[in-house]
A and B are shown apart, each in its own frame.
Chain A
Amino acid sequence: MRWGLPGAVVAACVGYLIYSASGGATEYYMTVSELQAHATAGDVRVAGVVQDDVHKSDGLHVTFTEKDGTASMPVQYTGTLPDIFKPGITVVVEGKLGGDGVFHARTLLAKCPSRFSTQPYVK
């Protein structure tokens, strides 16, 4: 048996799986100003910097303003917050922009200052 035929069949299946999953299971990743320029119906991920107006009603409900240089939007989120969450850090929120202009976040990720330092020491 030549391996060409099974190879082609598997490749076609993988291609189809990737294609079909790409349609429904990928999201736009944009900045606040890009989101305001293109209104999208589905879930999106929006990156921006947390402003000083963080308000926590209890450990799980939080509202704040996310800004990306020019544009800003209010964000409402329910869930546990990442440890490094505080004004000034960059977060990525995932959810929908509501008709009221408030972004309802389903998940909130903070950019993790991981192994490799973000702020190099002044040399």
Chain B
Amino acid sequence: MILGYLGAGALLAALVMGGFSSLLSFWSGIRQSETFIQVGRRAFYAAAAMTFLSAVVLEVALLTHDFSLAYVVEHTDLSTPTALVAAAFYGGQEGSLLYWTVILGILGSASLLASASLGGRVAAYAAGILASILTFFLFVLAVVASPFDVLSVTPPDGLGLNPILRDGGMLIHPPVVLAGFASFAIPFSFACAALLARRVDAAWITHTRRFALLAWSLQTTGLLLGMWWAYHVLGWGGYWGWDPVENVALMPWLATTAYLHSSQVQERRGRLRLWNFGLVITAFLLVVFGTFIVRSGVVPSVHTFAISAIGPWFFGFLVVCLLFSALLLTLRSNLGVEAKPAPAVSREGAFVLQNLLLLGVVAVVMWGTVLPLVSGMFGVQRVAGASFYERAAGPLLAAILALLAVGPLLPWRHAGRATLRALRWPVAAAIVALMVLLIAGVPSAPALVAFPLAAAAGATALTEYARAALRKPRSILRKRRRYGAYLAHLGLVVAVTGVAASHFGQQVKDVTLQPGEAVTVAGYSLTYTGSEQRQLTDHTEFVAGMRFGDQTLEPSRATYAGLGGQALTHVAISTTPTADVYVVLAGTNPDGSATFRVFVNPLVIFIWAGGAVIILGVLLGNVGERSAAMELARRRIPVTLPA
């Protein structure tokens, strides 16, 4: 009980400090009062610290099973393992918002600490905007969806966590995704601050890029972990279902991918200034939009979210952010005027085209996500299935893959004959891949496009490495950012190969087997050896044995008596170098037979491995790296513009 009051008190204190920081920072930024800028920033740190304190209180309440708090009762019980009790912190609506706010406070503080080089005004406005966003979240937490609501009667035990969520994935996927979502606010705040202060020079890009890269890396990791979790737990043989919840996590990622590429055009050539602001702002607006969509229940999703009171508040917040950004971009549109046009066939041109294509994918995903909402206004609701996304986004993704092969070979400014010669390796790789596929008798046209393009893109990245290794091996270490990016490209090619192979090559078979009987799927033979029933503390498990080579796979179904007989399927997956053999126990029958659904998913491991390489490339390329913009600033190349 005392913890409830302590936590609510800390939230209230954070709310007051946040509001104070917001007002003071804007005011001191306008007045350019260095002292008050400092005070405003410290008020932000104080708000972040109080938010952190309330998070500690909630975690203590969870771990000590303080069932006087509604949140603790709704998400845990005495039998929940300790790690999952701790994870329940972000397992519910209110707690996940608190987690989000804590991350915003921590990363926001870090970004403000690092913002000294930007000059008083930008730093002050950034603090003001960050504090405003923080204040909005704290207001929702303190007033609309408090995790510290105290029950009038303290129950002896809680309701517990759904068994589907009682999994290791619960410990890693949600915190990374939520941290990713929270971190998009930082590039947004600095972009808006720079626009407000009319500072569009290199220092802005350097600072924003660093945090955009952090947000992007968190979101990449979060998306991959989510796919991995869905694949290993849900038992439908896939990892991506185009559900609104997945879509809204993908869209800001796509917009930030565009920004990370186009910001280089500004760093190197001073172009696309306004465009870059637009991308950073778009990414954040997509985050707010996604949060509204997911947590208000306005579109049908397989994920059911509590229809809670926070929906209208987030809608209001979205409208305010949208109007503010649109107004800001309109008022500062003169900052985007560029000296002279750039030639189309150049690195700049490739980046612009890639950006447009990525935004095209965002448009497709957005349309598919809001279609039920829009069509519902004009009659019967329509929903977009996976085939909508494949047909509409597929060609755009193929074009992006083609650019991945061509773009890195194009020089800045304009391309000449040398570029055509450089293209010979990717073209050769694509032709070889196409021949191999044709000889292997692959009939699917999309597969015949996807694999050769992936091969070409891979060849391009490898050519860049080979060229550097032959001429100036040390440049690979010196230009870390560039070669880190090529490593990320290679990782993407590997992941795309895995996605394409598992998408085009998946085989499924439903089969009912008597003990001793075997089934063969895509050349993999499995023998059913019989099933047994195991009684565990809170659930009963039916385990079937499947002999596969020299291993035994054990797909199973657990039934939780305490939760109204809810069942939970455990998929058995055996990863071979070329495919995953993925066995789901559909049921056991009275005659001793068992029914299985067996998937053979080619090259799924490429997706996880490729994802790891992407993250590795980003880390190797950027941690401790001095950016190109810093170099330009150091060499005193003027990039500041007239106001």
Measured CB to CB, the residues of A under 8 A from B are: 1-3, 6-7, 10-11, 13-14, 17-18, 20-22, 24-30, 34, 38, 45, 47, 56, 58-60, 78-81, 83-86, 92, 94, 109-118, 120-121, 123
Contact = CB atoms under 8 A, between A and B. Distances in A.
Given A60-B597, A120-B74, A121-B159, A115 B96 contact: yes
B564 A26 contact: no
Interface size class of B (residues with CB under 8 A): 35 or more
Interface in B570-622: 584-589, 593-597
Contact of B302 (A22, A29, A34, A92): A92
Contacts of A58: 512, 586-587, 589, 593, 595
Interface string B343-381: 110000100110011001001100100011000000011
8 contacts: A2-B341, A6-B352, A22-B367, A26-B385, A34-B380, A109-B302, A121-B159, A123-B151
B106 to A, nearest CB: 22
User: 4 closest pairs, A vs B, by CB?
Assistant: A59-B587, A59-B595, A59-B586, A25-B388
Contact of A117 (B75, B303, B380): B75
Contact of A114 (B305, B567, B597): B305
Nearest to A5: B344
Interface string B413-429: 00000000000000000
- Of listed A26, A45, A85, A116, residue having the most chain B CB within 10 A: A116
A5 B385 CA distance: 32
Given A17-B392, A59-B588, A60-B597, A26 B380 contact: no
B344 to A, nearest CB: 5
B349 to A, nearest CB: 7
Contacts of B530: none
Contact of A83 (B302, B392, B568): B568
Contact of B304 (A56, A78, A80, A112): A112
Given A26-B388, A29-B382, A116-B305, 17 more contacts: A1-B343, A3-B352, A17-B360, A17-B391, A17-B393, A18-B392, A22-B367, A28-B380, A30-B381, A47-B300, A80-B584, A109-B302, A113-B164, A115-B305, A118-B306, A121-B70, A121-B159
B342 interface: yes
A83 B165 CA distance: 12
A69 B567 CA distance: 26
B381 A28 contact: yes
Contacts of B586: 58-60, 80-81
A21 B303 CA distance: 25
Interface in B527-578: 564-569
A24 B163 CA distance: 38
Contacts of A27: 382-383, 385
B374 to A, nearest CB: 11
Contacts of B510: 60, 78-79
Contacts of B385: 25-27, 94
A116 B381 contact: no
A29 B305 contact: no
A26 B369 CA distance: 12
Interface string B329-343: 000000000000111
Contact of B594 (A6, A7, A47, A59): A59
Interface in B274-307: 275, 295, 300, 302-306
Nearest to B384: A26
B341 A1 contact: yes
B247 interface: no
Nearest to A88: B564
Given A14-B363, A30-B381, A83 B164 contact: yes
A30 B379 CA distance: 10
Nearest to A59: B587
A109 B357 CA distance: 32
B149 interface: yes
Nearest to B304: A111
Nearest to B73: A121
Given A28-B382, A29-B372, A115-B165, A22 B569 contact: no
A35 B246 CA distance: 28
B567 A115 contact: no
A113 B403 CA distance: 41
Contacts of B595: 58-60
Nearest to B237: A80
- Of listed A10, A59, A84, residue having the most chain B CB within 10 A: A59
A45 B302 CA distance: 12
B520 interface: no
B341 A29 contact: no
Interface in B155-171: 159, 162-165
Contact of A29 (B151, B300, B388, B589): B300
Nearest to A9: B356
B235 interface: yes
B300 A86 contact: no
A14 B235 CA distance: 33
Contacts of A14: 360, 363-364, 392, 396
B74 A121 contact: yes
Contacts of B567: 83-85
Given A58-B512, A112-B304, A116-B305, A10 B357 contact: yes
B387 interface: yes
- Of listed B162, B512, B569, residue having the most chain A CB within 10 A: B162
A94 B385 CA distance: 10
Given A21-B391, A29-B382, A59 B356 contact: no
A6 B359 CA distance: 13
Nearest to B341: A1
B563 to A, nearest CB: 10
A52 to B, nearest CB: 14
A22 B595 CA distance: 37
Given A60-B510, A117-B92, A10 B360 contact: yes
B93 interface: yes
Given A14-B396, A117-B74, A30 B380 contact: yes
Nearest to A123: B70
A38 B364 contact: no
B40 interface: no
Contacts of A18: 363-364, 367, 392
A109 B91 CA distance: 22
B244 to A, nearest CB: 12
